[in-house]
Structure 1
Amino acid sequence: MDLRLRDRTVLVTGASSGVGLATARMLLAEGANVAACARDAERLDATLRAAQADTEAPGRIHAVSADVTDAAAMGSFVDSAVQAFGGIDGVVCNAGRSLMATIDETTDDQIREEFELKLFGVLNIVRAAAKHLAASEVASVVAVNAILARQPEAKLAITSAARAGLLNLTQTLSHSLGADGIRVNSVLLGLVDTGQWTRRYESSGSDLDYAEWTGRLAADRGIVLGRLGTAEEVAFPIVSLLSPLSGYTTGACIDVGGGVARYV
């Protein structure tokens, strides 16, 4: 199926691994130009070079080392992407992490850092890219968020609160940017099988193999499908929302959590 993304330019933050990398790869496979950023320049360059080789995409990748919480860095990233490709048609706000801690275990500095990453990590790049997006007839922003935004967990107390704030913010952005023809949508993740879970498994000392361990984890978390998701299973709805075929969808949230959500 042609998602009509060929020769479009999409910015992806947090693109050196996991969902961000899978999204970049899928966009390249659709013929899009990808401007990608992450803090680890060496890792980003290596992974995107591999993606370029796999998809035969010479000249369609622009990689920059940048921190999404730095407004000036996001401005420079956007400017360099426009210089490389001539414009911007989409932004994927993917950079993020989870803070596994209860409220009592979390310092005030950690709370500030979580909210800065979740909120300014989106605001900084959207603000920098807005005027360029407004010039595109297919402009779209996708915020990669989490089901925690609607269904908080005590062991992820501050991350849950920051995610909820981001969900509220993206809904507001869908209204404020809609007048310029810019769509804003969210993808809410459940548990996705990325490097963090491999590392947690390796440090757990479990006698189970990885498949059994993640299966029990899924059962414990109430995931209906009984397994963790894959990065590609998250990338597909992200890329679909970027597509002009989703041109009448804005302010929406898509759950990608294997049925874990308990809300109506």
Structure 2
Amino acid sequence: MDLRLAGRTVIVTGASSGVGLATARMLLAEGAHVAGCAREIGRLRAAFEGIGDPAALHLATCDVTDRESVEQFVAGVVERFGGVDGLVCNAGRSLMATLPGTTDDQIREEFELKIFGSWNLVRATRAALAESESGSVVNVNAILSRQPETKLAVTSAARAALLNLTHSMAEELAADGTRVNSVLLGLVDTGQWRRRFESSGTDLDYDDWSAEIAADRGIALGRFGTAEEVAFPILTLLSPLAGYTTGSSIDVGGGVGRYI
């Protein structure tokens, strides 16, 4: 199926690993131009070594919480490719901590990353997206935004704020012809979970360890998702074929969502 992404320019934040890297790879395979950013340029370049046509790729360091850094990055993308058609706001992390175990600085950092990690990119690309025939923004969020967990209390709250903001963005940017949607993740097999496994001290192998967590969390499919399984719905929302979809969210959680 042709998603009509060939030749379109898409920015992907947090592109050096996990969902961001999988999304960028899939976009390149579709013939899109990809502008990827991350905090560590060396790691970013290493992740893309040998992937895709270098002429279709722009890599740069960017701190998504810093407005000036974002504006410089976006200006470089527009100079390189002539515009922006899509934006994937993927930079993020989870803070495994209860409310009593979270410092004030950690709370501020979580909200700053979740909110400004999207809003800085959206306002920097707004004019370019408006010039596209089908501008699209996808905020990579989490099912935690609707179904909070006490062990991820502040992350859950920050993700709820981002989900709310995404709906406001969808209404605000509709006048430009730009769509804004969310993909809500459950448990996805990324570097964060691999690091937690390595520090867990378990005698289980990774597959059995992750299956136990999936069962404990009530994931209907009984396993973690893959980055590629998240990337595909992201590409679907970026596609002009989804031109009548805005302000929506897609769960990619293996059936972990319990809300109606």
User: Normalising by the residue count of structure 1, what TM-score does the alignment of the two structures yield?
Assistant: 0.97
Paired residue for 2:7?
7
Please report how far the alpha carbon of residue 50 of structure 1 lies from its aligned counterpart in structure 2 after TM superposition: 3.2
Please report how far the alpha carbon of residue 49 of structure 1 lies from its aligned counterpart in structure 2 after TM superposition: 2.2
Paired residue for 2:71?
75
Structure 2 gap ranges (5+): none
C-alpha separation between the residues in 2 aligned to 1:142 and 1:246? 12
C-alpha separation between the residues in 1 aligned to 2:56 and 2:30? 11
Identity of aligned residues (%): 69
C-alpha separation between the residues in 1 aligned to 2:100 and 2:51? 42
Please report how far the alpha carbon of residue 48 of structure 1 lies from its aligned counterpart in structure 2 after TM superposition: 1.6
Aligned-residue CA RMSD (Å): 0.6
Q: CA contact under 8 A between 1:48 and 1:61: conserved in structure 2?
A: no
C-alpha separation between the residues in 2 aligned to 1:218 and 1:23? 24
Paired residue for 2:25?
25
Pairwise mapping of residues 214-233 of structure 1 onto structure 2 (< 5 A)? 214-233=210-229
C-alpha separation between the residues in 1 aligned to 2:252 and 2:34? 23
Moved over 6 A (4+): none
C-alpha separation between the residues in 2 aligned to 1:51 and 1:226? 32
Higher deviation after alignment, 202-211 or 159-168? 202-211
Please report how far the alpha carbon of residue 210 of structure 1 lies from its aligned counterpart in structure 2 after TM superposition: 1.1
Paired residue for 1:208?
204
Please report how far the alpha carbon of residue 263 of structure 1 lies from its aligned counterpart in structure 2 after TM superposition: 0.3
Letter in 1 for 2:51: A
C-alpha separation between the residues in 2 aligned to 1:104 and 1:236? 37
C-alpha separation between the residues in 2 aligned to 1:189 and 1:257? 5
Aligned residue among 150, 156, 177 for 2:173: 177
Paired residue for 1:65?
61
C-alpha separation between the residues in 1 aligned to 2:105 and 2:175? 37
Please report how far the alpha carbon of residue 195 of structure 1 lies from its aligned counterpart in structure 2 after TM superposition: 1.1
Give the 3-state SS of the residue equivalent to 2:51 in structure 1.
helix
Please report how far the alpha carbon of residue 99 of structure 1 lies from its aligned counterpart in structure 2 after TM superposition: 0.5
C-alpha separation between the residues in 2 aligned to 1:141 and 1:231? 19
Give the 3-state SS of the residue equivalent to 2:35 in structure 1.
strand
**Matching of residue 154 in structure 1 with residue 150 in structure 2:** yes
Please report how far the alpha carbon of residue 196 of structure 1 lies from its aligned counterpart in structure 2 after TM superposition: 1.3
C-alpha separation between the residues in 1 aligned to 2:27 and 2:212? 33
C-alpha separation between the residues in 2 aligned to 1:166 and 1:45? 29
Pairwise mapping of residues 137-152 of structure 1 onto structure 2 (< 5 A)? 137-152=133-148
C-alpha separation between the residues in 2 aligned to 1:104 and 1:217? 24
Count residues in correspondence. 260
Pairwise mapping of residues 111-126 of structure 1 onto structure 2 (< 5 A)? 111-126=107-122
C-alpha separation between the residues in 1 aligned to 2:125 and 2:51? 24
C-alpha separation between the residues in 1 aligned to 2:134 and 2:109? 33
Paired residue for 2:239?
243
C-alpha separation between the residues in 2 aligned to 1:181 and 1:59? 28
Pairwise mapping of residues 252-263 of structure 1 onto structure 2 (< 5 A)? 252-263=248-259
C-alpha separation between the residues in 1 aligned to 2:120 and 2:193? 29
Letter in 1 for 2:222: G
Paired residue for 1:37?
37
C-alpha separation between the residues in 2 aligned to 1:146 and 1:21? 18
